[in-house]
Structure 1
Amino acid sequence: MPGNLCVLSTVNCQQNIMKTKLITSMNWIGLGFLEPVIRLLSGEEPLKNLTEVGKNLFLPLASVLAFIVLWEAGAHKLYSIEADRKVQKVLTEQGKDAAVQMRKCIDSGEKECKPNSLPSPSQVYAACLSLLADHRMIAQDKKSFTDKTAKVNAMRAKAGQSEIRYTGRPSFVDQIGTSLKTVFAGVLLSMFIAIPIGILLGLSETLRTSINWLIQILKPVSPVVWLLLVSMVIKTLLTDSTMDKSFLISFISVGLCGMWATLVNTSMGVASVDKDYINVSKVLRLNVWKNIYKIVLPSSFPLIFTGIRITVSVSWMVLIAIELLAQSPGLGSFVWEQFQNGANDSNAKILVAMFVIGGIGFLLDKIMMTLQKLLTF
């Protein structure tokens, strides 16, 4: 590269430097599939990069379109099956005239007689817009409430009293925020527990062998069992506390469910540190803390961070079930409420939540991958 830079003109030189920096940045943040687009726009090997663009962009877009078409066709088919079943039921129970009226009602699209089946992509999109509109309305209500109670809360604060808080229902966006806060707290808890224990187990083969049985027993325990165990402890210790017990129970349960990957990977990473590095630390007479900080952690960090990535994925996956059971106002609670609600757009809203959950999980993994690249050396 330096030799080529000397030959190129100043403008071309700057363009190549900018292109290289942009490609490097894209690869760091997990958008390496855009590299052929950047190279194509700069005029580099048009045929080769055009082929790569088709492979990296157009084929995935085509698969998305194919998924939507199949989804639409499947939803239409299931709608027809459910509509026929509904008409047949009315025909059996109420007669031909009632069945004809039911068919007309279904064909007209009236909500009261609409079959409850898999929603189509357009219905899911409409449900998404409805949830966003609902969020804006609730946000406006919160702002109005805050403005009305500002003076009263200021007086209560001076008197040492607790402020009056908004107690209305949370919006879908608020519930996403609650779930993210819960999983973030759970991952921090799992790291706080798993990394120190993993380092100790990795440094001591005797200790690792002696308690390995306990790890193997607790690792596959269901999140429901952890939730029940944490609930017993929290409700006993904080009987008279005003703390938000549902959030506390949720994030502790999430942390305990997800910490095992970090613990095992940390232990493996520390145990597999190159013996030459350990011998160097002995020659330099490093104390225990310097040995861990300067030798053990840098060498084992790739495995530790891989464990953290798995912990984040597992934590996000079990969060929905835990929130549902703990009655924490997050996405798990939203999905359960919509399932219980049984409204015409409830199924569509459940699918919106499903795609949001999957999308956030994907983004969290990408963020963790980028952090791993930045911090691993």
Structure 2
Amino acid sequence: MIEETSVASEHSAPSQGKTPPPGAASAPQGPGKVQAFLAGKGKAILAPVLGVLAFIGLWAALAPMVDTSLGALPGPVEVAEQGAALFHEWQASNEAKAAFYEAQDARIAAGTQAMAFDYAGPPTFLDQVTTSLETVALGFVLATLVAVPVGLAAGLSPLFNAAINPLIQIMKPVSPLAWLPIVTMVVSATITSADPLLAKSFVISAIVVTLCSLWPTLINTAVGTASIDKDLLNVGRVLKLGTFQKLTKLVLPSALPYIFTGMRLSLGVGWMVLIAAEMLAQNPGLGKFVWDEFQNGSSQSLARIMFAVIVIGLIGFLLDRLMMTLQNLVSRNHAI
């Protein structure tokens, strides 16, 4: 190793008094470096843009050839028009809501109305997007709160890991459609208030998301914890670290990349599961929007469903990027 290092250093050191051989390529300097950088970035940006444009062109060309019960399959233009129509409906709903509260305040001030009422208009598409995000956030947080401690315990204790492994392998592949009737009956029996803090449909959808999305985080946390260098644990014993100190100073920093990988997978699974859960639980989110449009069967329904599919995919992509950014921020100084 010493000899190899010496040879490498000798070749890497600048030679004194020697000129580079003719024809030797020199590293780009000044404007050349800028052009090379822009060329690399251009390829990284241009390729995805070309791919998306090619997909849109193929979609526009093939859509008129596909006939459905509601007519020809909508193309990109029709879907974009329905997206704009949904935005205008949201604007009109906000104006109607503001007018309702303004008139109500005037009636209360004049003494012709004794109490205030909430606006009872139907939720718009953007309202349903917000509801879906809130639902998946609650389900994901619950899944993380369960999966990380159980995964840490499984990674630190081979006996505990062997005990719960059969349960994990049995529960992991269960479909959300199978969980939904069980969760619905349990939640309906638990929440008996006429005006609960959270709507039953919201709670049902969130719990189904939890039950289906906690497994990737649990498994990755257990694997990351079990793969910790045993020398680190021995150092903890020598220093007589307590259980909490061992977890926070040794186990968690080492297992953090695995934990965040599991959380990213769990969030993706939860977002996919949510749409099916909202369809059946009638939670007023994107799943219910898709189901209502399917039941509506108007000439615009198919274009609206396709627009919702695009929005669902974009939100899933953004959630994954968000988790990746959070992982980079948290694990920047995770090394022990």
TM-score of the aligned structures, taking structure 1 as reference length: 0.75
| Cα distance in 1 for residues equivalent to 2:108 and 2:179 | 39
Question: Equivalent residue for 1:335?
Answer: 290
2:161 aligns with one of 208, 212, 237 = 208
- Residue by residue over 1:35-90, the C-alpha shift from the partner in whole angstroms, topping out at 9 and shown as x without a partner, is xxxxx9x83525533542442122222222211111111012225xx6xxx9xxxx
Query: Is 1:60 matched up with 2:15?
Result: no
Question: Equivalent residue for 1:279?
Answer: 234
Superposed, 1:25-104 pairs within 5 Å as 43-78=31-66
Report the Cα offset of residue 120 of structure 1: 0.9
Superposed, 1:1-377 pairs within 5 Å as 43-78=31-66, 116-150=71-105, 164-243=117-196, 244-376=199-331, 377=334
| Cα distance in 1 for residues equivalent to 2:191 and 2:108 | 27
Change (3 A) 1:374 1:153: farther
Unaligned runs of 5+ in 1: 1-39, 87-114
Report the Cα offset of residue 144 of structure 1: 1.8
| Cα distance in 1 for residues equivalent to 2:176 and 2:158 | 29
Secondary structure of the 1:362 match is helix
Question: Equivalent residue for 2:17?
Answer: none
Change (3 A) 1:56 1:197: same
| Cα distance in 1 for residues equivalent to 2:184 and 2:242 | 41
Report the Cα offset of residue 241 of structure 1: 4.5
Unaligned runs of 5+ in 2: 1-27
Task: Give the RMSD, CA atoms, in angstroms.
Answer: 2.2
| Cα distance in 2 for residues equivalent to 1:351 and 1:222 | 24
* Corresponding letter in the other structure for 1:180: L
* Corresponding letter in the other structure for 1:198: G
Secondary structure of the 2:72 match is coil
| Cα distance in 1 for residues equivalent to 2:149 and 2:107 | 47
Report the Cα offset of residue 228 of structure 1: 1.5
Report the Cα offset of residue 367 of structure 1: 0.6
Question: Equivalent residue for 1:100?
Answer: none
TM-score of the aligned structures, taking structure 2 as reference length: 0.84
Change (3 A) 1:322 1:49: same
Secondary structure of the 2:169 match is helix
| Cα distance in 1 for residues equivalent to 2:87 and 2:60 | 23
Q: Normalized per residue, which structure has more helix?
A: 1
- Residue identity over aligned pairs, in percent, reads 45
Report the Cα offset of residue 205 of structure 1: 0.7
Question: Any conservation in 2 of the 1:153–1:164 contact (CA below 8 Å)?
Answer: no
